[in-house]
Structure 1
Amino acid sequence: MARIRSKKILIIGAGPTQVGRDTESEAAAIQIIKNFAEAGRNLYYVTNDANSIIPQLKYDVEFLVDDLTVNSLIQILRENDIDIILPVVGNTVALQLCEQLNESEVLKELNIRTMGVTTTTIHNINNPELMNKVLRHIKEPTIPTTVVETANSAIKFAKRVGFPVLIKPIASLTKTNRIKCDNEHQLVEMLEPAFKVSTTNQIAVEKSVVGYKEVEMTVIRDAEGSKLLINGAENFNPIGVHSGDSIIFSPTQTLTDIEFQSLRTAALKIAEVLKIKGVCHVQFALDPTDGKHFVTRVNPFFDRTSAFAARATGYPIANVVSKILLGQSLREIELSGVQKHDSLALIEPAMDHVAVRFPTWSFASFKNADQELNTKMKSTGAVMSFGRSAEEALQKAIRSVDSTTTAEQAALDESELSEAQLINVLIHARAGEVYYLLEALRRGYTVDELAEMTHIDAFYFYKLRHLVKLERQLREHHFDADVLKEAKYFGFGDTQIAHLWQVRSDQVREFRIKQAKVFATYKGVEPTAGEFPYLTNTYYSTFEDEDEAIRTVGKKILVLGTANSQVGTNSAAEYTTFQTIKRCQDLGYKVILINNNPNALTFVPDLADKVYLEPLTVENCLNIIHQEKPDKIVAQGKWEIVSQLVLRGVEIDQLPLSRTTRSENIDADYMAVVSEINGQANLFGVIGINDENMFVPIEASPKIKRQFKAVVMEECKNLTANGIYSIILRKNDDLLEVSSSVPMAIQDLPFLSYVLNQDFAGMITEIILTGAFQIKNYPMMGAKYRYTHVYPYDQFGIKQPQNTPFSLAIGAKFLSN
């Protein structure tokens, strides 16, 4: 009997991190690869993300480095005899590529099908007019929309439906957002660049619903047609501010039950008519005056909203979707945390807490960027927090902002604004908006005035007004135990209270613990809200009586996560933390993680033994250290929170990594990567470098090549501390000279790990924790690879300068050779 060949599945990655896309796609990819590999599937994964964690996984998957273009994919499909394409972890990039592959008819020629979402659905989603036909078929209201191929057609449509309108390029391979045009002049100005990035020379034009509430529903559907709502989330800002730049609350805060059920029903209907097998995120515009709604976006793939939904509810979306894609139905899927229930995967999650996603910015590093918020996303990261009330969750989100970027959240000092300036920033939303809203309430603006100026629901201003009232009570009652207790219950941090009392935060902490007897307690995050017995490993703090977290037993280590994605370290920091956790476990530790990035790789279920989704502040870290009493604490390099904890006597094993960058703007040609362990030096390899890129193989004469080992080993004699180092080298005619020697930069670590065939993050972790490591040299990757940085200048609408500092990069990618 002939042997049947195993189906080959190509997973398309999302590419490098950038504004609008963090590591949420790779986090989902990890879980899908794990489940597929354990089921014996034949897997390929393609991306040009130089910070991808996939090559470090222990699962059987072939990692392909290539441009994410239709021509590159066609070659991959042919060379590897691919049978199935899985686009759902590739964000909009993968869907656009599948659309182009289908149009080229190569899928039909090679008999290749897509998994999770059909090519028909992809085609409908990519064309607003076709999507509107689908929506009308299921009796869902549609926004007046058209697709045009000329500027005149766009102008004619806009005049017919009335300004403002939104435009968006069709089939754009770059990350694009809807652009709001308030008049004909703006429309004409924006049409030309929009046409240029459309691969079909088409633009979608639609009537604007700016000012409506923006609500997001995340649903799951299996092949049998069983469907459930995972999460509903509500944007703080109305439509007109990109949802990635808005604060997000879950569960929804201001919807009536009729409105909520209407949107839930619509989302489930959409998943059904599109025959989704997996996750689907649907965005709605909800008219606050009459409760009517429009569908504004359908994403049948993993994105930041589905990542937030998974964290907010504790429902393991990616694991469940993996099993759906493998052929299981929701009624057959078992969730690992369930203790007593046969079909919990079919039960819609319930929440007994409020979750908040809060955008973070990098405008202090980009002085000329326009900080006004509109339909073009500008935040470079996000943090997440939990609370028992909207106030607590919001306050924890505000203080979740990493102390190294706090100054970037509000570029203007709100307390110094004149009345006219304040009114201007209230009407024209800008980065750090919540700080200006709080200041307006402090100055006596009423809820109705602010709701009218901002179109933000009055509900949120009542919550903010409550926080301002608590501020006032704290200012008037220093070291009052009752006032302190109420403030802590609604999310005020020790540092915030210290500012209001004009004392040091350590004094507040001492009073809170020793005299007021106010202690943090911890609640579990799981999808049944206590309805069924459920073993969770994820917790958040609050200030109630019952504590649900039990101290971890055994040899344990606390790993400080990296918080929100930042320019500079960007997704390489998450990569490093992921590998650190794995190595700690290999060394016999139970890993306790504290992190608060909703898109983090390190929130993959079952990676860490216990997770505290908490602000990375001194207070929260000290509370967790007191709760868990870890044997060791480890962190990446020396950054603000590490320094503050060390000042308070906390012993932290700091991975000797540079949190800035490798040497830049110097005369350099090569980088040698070496280890120094207890006086023993080892050369892993040499990389070529220039002003913009790193690359292998190196370009050097035989005479230069013969000098590498001797020059590098001589320089290693000057390295006194254990670690992994980058030795920067330059040519001086036929001589090789050392420019500098620095600890390996976090930013460079993923690329160097890949091309040198090493796990440098794990290696550094073991060296620091044990004082030793058995070096194994592996052959370098044989292919040509070139690495370059990705910057957010285009998204910020400013020109990228020459010799851009690497510290401003938001991601990294492989370049084609």
Structure 2
Amino acid sequence: MTHTKTIVVLGSGPIRIGQGIEFDYASVQCVQALKKLGYEVAIINNNPETVSTDFDTADRLYFEPLTPVDVMNVLAVEKPLGVVVAFGGGTAIKLAKFLDSQGVRILGTSADAIDLAEDRERFEELCDRLSIKRPKGLTVFTEVEALEAAEKIGYPVLMRPSYVLGGQNMIIARNNADVKEYMKIILRGGIENPVLIDKYMEGKELEVDCISDGESVLIPGIMEHIERTGIHSGDSIAIYPGEFSAEIEEKIVRQSTDLALALGTKGLVNIQYLIYENDLYIIEANPRSSRTVPYLSKVSGLPMIDLATRAMLGEKLSQMGYGTGLYRKPPYFAAKVPVFSFEKLMDVDTHLGPEMKSTGEVLGIAATREEAIFKGMAAAGWKMIRPKKSEGETSPFGVLFSVRESDLPELPALAKKFYDLGFKLYATTGNAATIERSGMTVSHVAKVHENYNDNVMTLLESGRVVYVVSTSAKGRDPVAESVKLRRLAVERDIDCLTSIDTANALADCLASPYSLENTSLVDINHF
């Protein structure tokens, strides 16, 4: 079956944090699927480091920037049957509206449906119609509007520009000063799209990737994040399959199916949810390939991009041999753990938040959830250090705690895990008092302004600390002491955990019976 018809695929442009090899994987798989179906394929992408720009990937490669003018010039030459924007991340999807206005055929999900998912008011109307709950949110353009909105919704709030990828310029504002600081930075950049302000709800986060043909929806899996909401999905440890109550799971499947169909999705859609007080709320929906697709394709055994490409061209899931609803729960667990390059990025605060900072990821697969997380964390470069029990008080292995006030209620339980493992505990004044009240021995450490000669910094320099648990309410100010502490940990090659949830996951791994010598070897091809 050969077509003389050409399809143009848009890549994701130069790699940057939040957008990289995952979208290149999607573009290449899409090109291969289209060639298999007999189409000629031209790809537009200007990144020399990717497989999509290899000379033999597509029939023709246009090494051009992904801007409206350059893309239109290529389309004038190619005169394609249509353009694929769903596999090039945020860069490609942003061009959908413009291309549609120029009369270019967008294959798969329409430009209007893409806009429906991004436009705050339209999306809220859709969620109301489908009875899907979402955190309260407002749209603003000025600082005055932002302050009024934050007051109305109630702090803390999540602030972000619309149409962003990788959580760029996204923060959690806890007071008026944060809102003013944020709006100054954003307005200085000159915004065309509004700023979105949402109620920040701290709960369990999860995400779903769906494949839809417009009539039925296939859900390869539901991934659960170890870290609570507020940390970008690309920087979170994600477990597949997630563990949820039967009632919540049924709700996730039903709402995802309803939403994918209501958006008119043809191809992939990524939906992020949060569970707050045992109820399900939607965070956002992106009608495109997401960065979890390569990982989910591998561990679910489903050729997701191939199926999505065929669905874009009008083939039905039933014709491809798949029914609707939740695909299956595998008999194993997979943990996706992010990898960071902080030692190569000068002056960047290592504190994780809504803005993505990871530069890669690893995969741990095992028969149990605990072993999968252990494998993932070890592969991501976390040091799996355990003190010998006999060392007790004289243990050369220390853990330093310096967490923000709102995390103090959870500190004793976390500190006890390290204490029971035989670590020596160090903590700044407020943290130390909280730990002591729970009956553990802890060494008080001064902050720099409290004692210039003997403080948290000199402790890190001494080599007595192997883990630092540091969370801060802010973290955008490079001169803040907590930021300097985390930077010093990076320079001294000390593992620094900036989320209570990640620290708990690490402590649980250290308390588990697993070690680098006894983890099982898994052959993913023969599950």
Distance 2:500 2:298 in 1: 25
Cα deviation digits, residues 92-150 of structure 1 (max 9, x gap): 11111112444xx322xxxx221121111111122222211111111111222222222
Secondary structure of residue in 1 paired with 2:271:
strand
Provide the residue aligned with 1:125 in structure 2: 117
Aligned residues: 443
Question: CA 1:54–1:243 in 2, change beyond 3 Å: closer, same or farther?
Answer: closer
Distance 1:468 1:106 in 2: 57
Which of 362, 376, 397 is the aligned partner of 1:397?
A: 376
Q: Percent same amino acid among aligned pairs?
A: 20
Relative to the length of structure 2, the TM-score reads 0.75
Report 1:707-786 matches (<5 A). none
CA drift of 1:38 comes to 2.5
Cα deviation digits, residues 152-197 of structure 1 (max 9, x gap): 1111111111112122223458972532111111111111332455
Question: CA 1:423–1:197 in 2, change beyond 3 Å: closer, same or farther?
Answer: closer
Question: CA 1:385–1:164 in 2, change beyond 3 Å: closer, same or farther?
Answer: same
Provide the residue aligned with 1:56 in structure 2: 54
CA drift of 1:214 comes to 0.4
Question: CA 1:57–1:265 in 2, change beyond 3 Å: closer, same or farther?
Answer: farther
Question: CA 1:127–1:440 in 2, change beyond 3 Å: closer, same or farther?
Answer: farther
Which of 23, 43, 46 is the aligned partner of 1:45?
A: 43
Secondary structure of residue in 1 paired with 2:292:
helix
Provide the residue aligned with 1:812 in structure 2: none
**Would the aligned equivalents of 2:339 and 2:361 in 1 still touch at CA under 8 Å?**
yes
Provide the residue aligned with 2:294 in structure 1: 307
Which of 89, 92, 96 is the aligned partner of 2:90?
A: 92
Distance 1:174 1:359 in 2: 14
Distance 2:383 2:509 in 1: 19
1:221 aligns with 2:244: no
Secondary structure of residue in 2 paired with 1:327:
coil
One-letter amino acid matched to 1:269: D
Distance 1:304 1:252 in 2: 17
Provide the residue aligned with 1:590 in structure 2: none
Report 1:207-606 matches (<5 A). 207-209=199-201, 211-223=202-214, 225-253=215-243, 255-287=244-276, 289=277, 291-333=278-320, 343=322, 348-401=327-380, 415-418=397-400, 421-423=401-403, 427=407, 439=418, 442=421, 467-470=509-512, 487=513, 491-494=514-517, 520=520, 522-523=522-523, 525=524, 538=525
Which of 150, 157, 162 is the aligned partner of 1:158?
A: 150
**Would the aligned equivalents of 1:141 and 1:295 in 2 still touch at CA under 8 Å?**
yes
Provide the residue aligned with 2:430 in structure 1: none
Secondary structure of residue in 2 paired with 1:45:
strand
**Would the aligned equivalents of 1:218 and 1:279 in 2 still touch at CA under 8 Å?**
yes
Cα deviation digits, residues 365-389 of structure 1 (max 9, x gap): 2342211111111111111110111
Cα deviation digits, residues 3-44 of structure 1 (max 9, x gap): x99443221111122212231111122221112113221322
**Would the aligned equivalents of 2:46 and 2:65 in 1 still touch at CA under 8 Å?**
yes
Cα deviation digits, residues 272-318 of structure 1 (max 9, x gap): 1011111211000110x2x2122112122222222222122121111
Secondary structure of residue in 2 paired with 1:304:
coil
**Would the aligned equivalents of 2:218 and 2:324 in 1 still touch at CA under 8 Å?**
no
**Would the aligned equivalents of 1:441 and 1:468 in 2 still touch at CA under 8 Å?**
no
1:75 aligns with 2:57: no
Secondary structure of residue in 2 paired with 1:114:
coil
**Would the aligned equivalents of 2:230 and 2:353 in 1 still touch at CA under 8 Å?**
yes
**Would the aligned equivalents of 1:353 and 1:389 in 2 still touch at CA under 8 Å?**
yes
**Would the aligned equivalents of 1:12 and 1:45 in 2 still touch at CA under 8 Å?**
yes
Distance 1:414 1:246 in 2: 30
Secondary structure of residue in 2 paired with 1:76:
helix
Cα deviation digits, residues 517-564 of structure 1 (max 9, x gap): x895544x4xxxxxxxxxxxx36xxxxxxxx7xxxxxxxxxxxxxxxx
One-letter amino acid matched to 1:249: I
Secondary structure of residue in 2 paired with 1:236:
strand
Choose 296-305 or 6-15, whichever is displaced more.
6-15
CA drift of 1:64 comes to 0.8
CA drift of 1:77 comes to 2.7
RMSD: 3.5
Secondary structure of residue in 1 paired with 2:94:
helix
**Would the aligned equivalents of 2:338 and 2:362 in 1 still touch at CA under 8 Å?**
yes
Secondary structure of residue in 2 paired with 1:270:
helix
Provide the residue aligned with 2:444 in structure 1: none
**Would the aligned equivalents of 1:163 and 1:181 in 2 still touch at CA under 8 Å?**
yes
Question: CA 1:465–1:31 in 2, change beyond 3 Å: closer, same or farther?
Answer: closer
Distance 1:441 1:217 in 2: 37
1:185 aligns with 2:177: yes
Provide the residue aligned with 2:389 in structure 1: none
Distance 1:414 1:88 in 2: 52
CA drift of 1:57 comes to 5.7
Question: CA 1:282–1:347 in 2, change beyond 3 Å: closer, same or farther?
Answer: closer
Provide the residue aligned with 2:392 in structure 1: none
Secondary structure of residue in 2 paired with 1:237:
strand
Provide the residue aligned with 2:34 in structure 1: 36
Question: CA 1:250–1:77 in 2, change beyond 3 Å: closer, same or farther?
Answer: same
One-letter amino acid matched to 1:26: D
**Would the aligned equivalents of 2:12 and 2:20 in 1 still touch at CA under 8 Å?**
no
Structure 1, unpaired ranges of 5+? 335-342, 408-412, 429-434, 471-486, 495-517, 526-537, 540-547, 549-817
Secondary structure of residue in 2 paired with 1:113:
coil
Distance 1:332 1:70 in 2: 36
CA drift of 1:406 comes to 6.4
**Would the aligned equivalents of 1:221 and 1:279 in 2 still touch at CA under 8 Å?**
yes
One-letter amino acid matched to 1:364: E
Question: CA 1:74–1:186 in 2, change beyond 3 Å: closer, same or farther?
Answer: same
CA drift of 1:51 comes to 1.2
Structure 2, unpaired ranges of 5+? 385-394, 409-413, 426-434, 441-468, 473-497
Distance 2:253 2:279 in 1: 13
One-letter amino acid matched to 2:219: L
Structure (1 or 2) with the larger CA radius of gyration: 1
Distance 2:3 2:368 in 1: 55
Distance 2:326 2:149 in 1: 45
Provide the residue aligned with 2:131 in structure 1: 139
Secondary structure of residue in 2 paired with 1:311:
helix
**Would the aligned equivalents of 1:221 and 1:278 in 2 still touch at CA under 8 Å?**
yes
Report 1:610-629 matches (<5 A). none
Question: CA 1:414–1:53 in 2, change beyond 3 Å: closer, same or farther?
Answer: farther
Provide the residue aligned with 1:596 in structure 2: none
**Would the aligned equivalents of 2:55 and 2:61 in 1 still touch at CA under 8 Å?**
no
Distance 1:190 1:377 in 2: 17
Distance 2:90 2:519 in 1: 45
1:149 aligns with 2:146: no
